[in-house]
Structure 1
Amino acid sequence: MQIILSKSSKDPIYEQITNQIRSFILAGELQEGAALPSMRKLAKDLKISVITTKRAYEELERAGFIYSIIGKGSFVAEQNLKVISEIKLKVIEEQLSVVIMNSKEIGLSLDELLQLMKILYEE
């Protein structure tokens, strides 16, 4: 698991961490029960405050992606496939909204957009 932080991102650092770990879990790169790095280790590796990693882990735990055991660490929680599908669908809808807005801004027709999507989908 490699987390990459962007100083130019509008998202706070804890949110960047949260989003990337969530993506790793949803993509199956982090399996159920897998141990996450300790908050201190992650903070040291990313050269950030432990408070920031603590907030990211708290957000992930609150959302049900991980669980923590005092003295043992944080682990990937069992994921409900229906919940995962809903989360992924929401992400797709958000991304498509941006694509549609950008397409309209440059005058791309719906037919042209659909053709482009079909080409990319079939690759």
Structure 2
Amino acid sequence: MWIHLSNESKDPLYKQLKDQIKQQIIDGTLEGDTELPSIRTLAKNIQTSVITVKRAYSELEQEEFLYTRAGRGTFVKATEKRILQQKVEKQFETEVDRLFQLGASLGLSIEEMMTIIQRLKEERK
């Protein structure tokens, strides 16, 4: 498991850690039932606080990407690729909905928002 946290990112450290672990689960780098480092070990390895790792692990457990066995450790939850994909799509839908709400509050129409998205898509090519 490779993790890189940046103090220059707009995202808090726990979210960076959570997102990186989640991505490694989704792309298959971390397979089901793989044991993750203990909270203290990972905190030491990536030079962050125990609280940061604990929050990332806790949120991933709430989202059903991880599970914890008392006295044994934290593990990647074995989940079918299809279910993982559904979780990812649901999370994306939530973010898109949030952006649509923001756009509407700024007075943008759906068409204007879609034009912006299309422009950004073209710029990324």
* Bin for the TM-score computed over the shorter chain: 0.7 to 0.9
1:101 is matched with 116
* Cα separation, partners in 2 of 1:69 and 1:84, compared to 1, 3 Å: same
Which shows bigger deviation, 84-93 or 28-37? 84-93
Determine the structure 2 residue equivalent to 1:6.
Answer: 6
Deviations 1:78-101 (A, max 9, x none): 113332122344577779x9xx73
| Aligned ranges 1:56-71 → 2 under 5 Å | 56-71=56-71
Pairwise CA RMSD of aligned residues?
3.0
5 Å-filtered alignment, 1:1-123, equals 1-89=1-89, 101=116, 104=119, 113=122
**2 CA distance for matches of 1:69 and 1:88?**
25
Q: CA deviation at 1:103?
A: 5.5
Q: What's the offset of the Cα at 1:25?
A: 0.4
Cα distance change of structure 1 residues 92 and 56 upon mapping to structure 2, 3 Å threshold: closer
Residue 14 of structure 1 deviates from its aligned partner by 0.5
Q: TM-score, structure 1 length as denominator?
A: 0.73
Gaps of 5+ in 1: none
SS in 2 for 1:68: strand
Q: Deviations over 1:37-65 (max 9, x none)?
A: 10000000111110111011000100000
Alpha-carbon distance, 1:102 to partner: 6.6
Q: Which runs of 5+ in 2 are unaligned?
A: 100-114
| Greater Cα shift, 31-40 or 80-89 | 80-89
Q: Percent same amino acid at aligned positions? A: 39
- Aligned-residue offset at 1:8: 1.0
Alpha-carbon distance between aligned partners in 2 of 1:46 and 1:27, rounded to the nearest angstrom: 21
Distance 1:13 1:47 in 2: 11
Give the TM-score of the pair, scaled to structure 2: 0.72
